[in-house]
Structure 1
Amino acid sequence: MSKTSNAPKPAPAAKGITPQNNAANISNPNKGSPGTNRQYDQSQGHRGTQLNPNRKS
């Protein structure tokens, strides 16, 4: 005899980042927290590259 559980299975976790969440993360520096999010860091790095006066065109 095998025991089977009739308990409901948990819903699968959402995977990936939606476009709305990505757009919000780009402008969110997470002030007051110990870190920042990846999208914000990448956008600021790209911004720094664009504003660099030593950048070759």
Structure 2
Amino acid sequence: MSKEHRVSGNTHSKEQLNHYANQHNPNNSAYQANRDNRSNQCNPNNKEYDHSRGSGQKR
């Protein structure tokens, strides 16, 4: 069984807690944008694939 990662309200501000929650909520636009960016960087047919590897050249 995997261990759940949580953020303590005793050591983090309300703003930090909200930011963490937004990053891990699949219904949030920030979460979706991060997933889309990752997908683009892992897709060799996307221009961001080479850009993310620093080569700057198309395959």
TM-score (ref. length: structure 1) = 0.43
Structure holding more helix per residue? 2
Rg larger in structure: 1
TM-score (ref. length: structure 2) = 0.42
Higher relative contact order, structure no. (Cα contacts within 8 Å, ≥ 6 residues apart): 1
